[in-house]
Amino acid sequence: MIYFDKWSEAEGILVKLRQLVLLVTIVGATWITGALAADKNQKPPEQGAGPAKSSTRDAVAPRRKAPVASAEDKELSSRPPSIRVDTNLVLINVTVTDPLNRFVTGLEAEHFKLLEDKAEQKIASFASEDAPLSVGLVFDASGSMGSKLQKARLATAQFFKTANPEDEFFLVQFNDRPELTQPFTTNTEEIQNRLTFTQAKGRTALLDGVYMALNHMKKARNTRKAILILSDGGDNSSRYTESEIKNLVREADVQIYAIGIFEPVSARGRTAEELSGPGLLSEMAEQTGGRHFPIENLNDLPDVAGKIGMELRNQYVIGYVPTNGNRDGKYRRVQVKLVQPRGLPPLRPFWRQGYYAPAQ
């Protein structure tokens, strides 16, 4: 009995071992089958295809080597700049006329000599083309202009006939005080429309009108600038004095032209201001290289205005770099001399008399 019990126990153990071996065999076969299937499903890379793309997160860019500067690059970097602008080019507008007061064109740089404070200067640039203009019209609307307004309007219309599309204009009217009735515009009809409704009244604030025009001229977009004054007398209502305006005129790079509509000298009843009017307009105009045209016959107004417009279109622009490079802010006197061309009568130049040097 004892032998029988031990054999039965051994037989049970043997059965359990066989079951364990069978289980291990099944699990192993299942794992091998799955591995072979996964390997079979993986496709080999196609011929000629690049490596599989990796995500941006995993990508690593190769380090770039710093470029090696050549000997030529090192030489260029060590050189100072080849262009340095540290000069002041002075531009002078010059009008040339013959004994009959006709414009003379066709001259060359060799026909001009420039002096600054009596020292001859070398001409650096020379031009005679028709450049765009910025023009301010200073129009007298005082009471004494009553019978002259219509002719004065015709004069401005004639002046505008010489305008170019790139030109710009503004209008300052004055009587007791000045008024900017039309800021800068390229449409001349706007100014003529303003003058249509102008009424003559009050006193004459001529100097204040010039001051307002010079101030508004700072907004000009063109390099060449001019002011045209139409007035019939001197000043009797301005806050600014003659000396103050003359100083402003010397500082401003603006040509001043004036048409003085005056009564004959023999006429009675002319005030002291009216008697001094021609001299005041002449001095302001000549200082800037412009001109004053006094007239007594109103019928001459349109022709004179048209002539001024043509003169502005027939000027020489001469540039030079001053030999005196001091930035002292002092006034420099300029003189223009003509080298008389052969076969021409004596010629006369008109130019800006001087300028203020820049200050540090």
Encoding tokens for residue 153?
Answer: 């309007």
Please determine, for residue 40, whether its predicted confidence score (pLDDT) is greater than 60: no
Please determine, for residue 114, whether its predicted confidence score (pLDDT) is greater than 80: yes
- Inter-residue long-range contacts of 69-77, CB under 8 Å, 24+ positions, other chains counted: none
The pTM of this model reads: 0.74
- Other Cβ atoms closer than 10 A to 134: 22
pLDDT in tens, 238-267: 999 999 999 999 999 999 999 998 876 665
pLDDT in tens, 208-218: 999 999 999 99
Identify the DSSP state of 11.
H
Q: Which pLDDT value is given to residue 59?
A: 46
CB–CB of 226/133 below 8 Å?
A: yes
Say which CATH superfamily domain 133-313 falls into.
von Willebrand factor, type A domain (3.40.50.410)
What Cα–Cα distance (Å) separates residue 311 from each residue in 101, 158, 162, 314, 349?
A: 11, 13, 10, 5, 12
Q: Which pLDDT value is given to residue 88?
A: 85
Q: Which pLDDT value is given to residue 21?
A: 52
Q: Which pLDDT value is given to residue 269?
A: 57
Q: Which pLDDT value is given to residue 7?
A: 38
The residue with tokens 């007239």 is 295
The domain spans of the chain are 90-127+319-356, 133-313
pLDDT in tens, 330-353: 999 999 999 999 999 999 999 999
Encoding tokens for residue 35?
Answer: 């591995």
Please determine, for residue 174, whether its predicted confidence score (pLDDT) is greater than 50: yes
CB–CB of 258/231 below 8 Å?
A: yes
Q: Is 134 helix (H, G, I), strand (E, B) or coil?
A: strand
Encoding tokens for residue 176?
Answer: 């007791």
Mean per-residue pLDDT, 55-77: 50
**Residue 74 backbone dihedrals phi, psi, to 5 degrees:** -65, -35
Query: Residue 19: enclosing H or E segment and its boundaries?
Result: helix 2-41
